[in-house]
Amino acid sequence: MLAIKLKRIGKKHQASFRIIVAEKRSKINGRFVEDLGWYNPHTNKSKINMERVGHWTKNGAQPTASIKNLLKKQKA
């Protein structure tokens, strides 16, 4: 089963995240299917390709709880 989840990138204490589509049970820094955007919690900015998110959710990918919250913010 595929999931839309966050992948941590950046230096220590300067975390930022990539939004990826990957197998639900795969490791966070393991292989992923597609990169959908990014999120920076320090500046609270993000860029998400909503068209591709829609495509993957129609094909069965489940977003994690944190991704659901980001998607709600993006739509509003």
* pLDDT (tens place) for every residue of the chain, 76 residues total: 999 999 999 999 999 999 999 999 999 888 999 999 999 999 999 999 999 999 999 999 999 999 999 999 988 6
pLDDT at 75 (0 to 100): 80
Let me know: does 32 contact 20? Beta carbons within 8 Å: yes
CA distance 76 to 60: 24
Q: pTM here?
A: 0.90
CA distance 13 to 27: 21
H/E segment holding residue 56: helix 50-58
Tokens of 62: 């489940």
User: Three-state SS for 24?
Assistant: coil
pLDDT at 76 (0 to 100): 64
Domains and CATH numbers, the chain: 2-75 (3.30.1320.10)
